[in-house]
Amino acid sequence: MSSLQKALKPAKEIKNTLPKLEKLRCTIFDKFYNPDNLRVGVEVWEKPLLGPSLRNYYGSRTNINFSEFMTSFRKNLEGTDFKLQDQREIDRLQYVEERKRIGKGAPKKKNEKVEKKNKKKK
């Protein structure tokens, strides 16, 4: 053994003798400062979260739907002058208007209170 190796202490002794250095080490490497070795359940959090990497094993398109994509796309365009035309919605409104013109629109809503009273009487 060289003279330098003899002068150096093992890591366990340094931890006990120099608490300030240990504290600084914990702040740098994002570790929980635990001088008394208490069992606080910290070792569970030492691993990084595995979920995001496991989720996309078979491909990254698992959690995006077309409708979800369009809603997020429309949200970004809210402040701007650019407007998207929804052809399906325009067609639907046109169809409803044509039906109303013939006289086959949606029926009027009845009052619920009146219906309930009639049922009770029977």
Partner 1 sequence: MSTYAKLFRMPPITPRWNTIKDNVKRQVFAETELEQRTLKSISRNTLLPTKVRMQAQLQLSAMPKLSKMSQIRNRCVMTGTGRSVVGDGVKLNRIQFRTRAISGELPEYKIGGW
Among 41, 79, 103, 107, binds partner 1 (CB under 8 A): 41
How many other C-beta atoms can be found within 10 angstroms of the C-beta atom of residue 14? 14
Q: Is 40 in the site for partner 1 (CB under 8 A)?
A: yes
Residue 84 CB, nearest distance to partner 1 (Å)? 24
Q: Is 66 in the site for partner 1 (CB under 8 A)?
A: no
Helix (H) or strand (E) holding 96, with range, is: helix 87-102
Residue identified by tokens 């496991």 is 54
Residue identified by tokens 């359940």 is 41
Q: Is 45 in the site for partner 1 (CB under 8 A)?
A: yes
Distance CA(120)–CA(115), nearest Å, equals 9
Summarize as ranges the residues that interact with partner 1 (CB under 8 A): 38-45, 49-52, 54-55, 57-63, 65
